[in-house]
Structure 1
Amino acid sequence: MIWVITEACVDVKDLACVDACPVDCIYEGNRMLYIQPDECVGCGACEPVCPVEAIYYEDDLPADQEKYREINAEFFDELGAPGGAAKLGKLDTDHPAVVALPPQE
């Protein structure tokens, strides 16, 4: 995985990063967006357009957001690498750790 979406995205889901992604590897869950690590080419186009600064290069993750590296990867354990978010649309699911979070303002 190269880029990671973190907690700042929860309950915000501004889709600017989805629009900026040239390989369609950012998938929409119920409460946040997730980057499919095997489909991401590492271009970084998503990071500067995020209005809440939720996207980090994996080596630059703040210590309190490190768990989101695994959360993003584990979100795709059952889904796999479907080959593009657009064809799937919004998914009616989230990682259990995101589901457990209280509503974000």
Structure 2
Amino acid sequence: MPFVVTDNCIKCKYTDCVEVCPVDCFHEGPNFLVIDPDECIDCTLCEPECPANAIYAEDDVPAGQEGYVALNADLAKDWPVITTRKDPLPDAAEWDGKPDKLPHLER
């Protein structure tokens, strides 16, 4: 069961998770990260590294965020792989914890 990046990553984009991934399954967009479900080996290393608590096992995605399973798979096809930590977005702290951020997703 792959892991999924959910709503709280949008406009935060903390990248602590990418450095612990042994298979480089993270992909980077302008203001969001996704996990390629075909590459994820379910190692669980990324989940505790996310300061925004935005990463879940596919079966544990919060209610109302199930659409992020397909969104991760779709965006991973087009976005480049990210393997090294970068600074979060400048206003990440202001966006962390705000609900319903999908309209703010930049593709």
TM-score scaled by length of structure 1:
0.74
Whose RCO is larger (CA < 8 A, sep 6+)? 2
CA drift of 1:20 comes to 1.2
Work out the CA distance in 2 between the residues paired with 1:55 and 1:85: 16
Work out the CA distance in 1 between the residues paired with 2:40 and 2:33: 14
Task: Tell me the residue number matched to 1:28.
Answer: 28
Task: Tell me the residue number matched to 2:10.
Answer: 10
Work out the CA distance in 2 between the residues paired with 1:78 and 1:13: 17
Work out the CA distance in 2 between the residues paired with 1:4 and 1:51: 15
Structure 2: give runs of 5+ residues left out of the alignment: 84-101
RMSD across aligned C-alpha pairs, in angstroms?
A: 2.5
Task: Tell me the residue number matched to 2:104.
Answer: 102
Percent of residue pairs identical: 46
TM-score scaled by length of structure 2:
0.72
Work out the CA distance in 2 between the residues paired with 1:85 and 1:39: 13
Regions of 4+ moved over 2 Å: 76-79
Task: Tell me the residue number matched to 1:92.
Answer: none
Q: Map of 1:1-105 to 2, 5 A cutoff? A: 2-78=2-78, 85-86=82-83, 101-102=103-104
Tell me how many residue pairs correspond in the alignment.
89
CA drift of 1:23 comes to 1.0
CA drift of 1:77 comes to 4.2
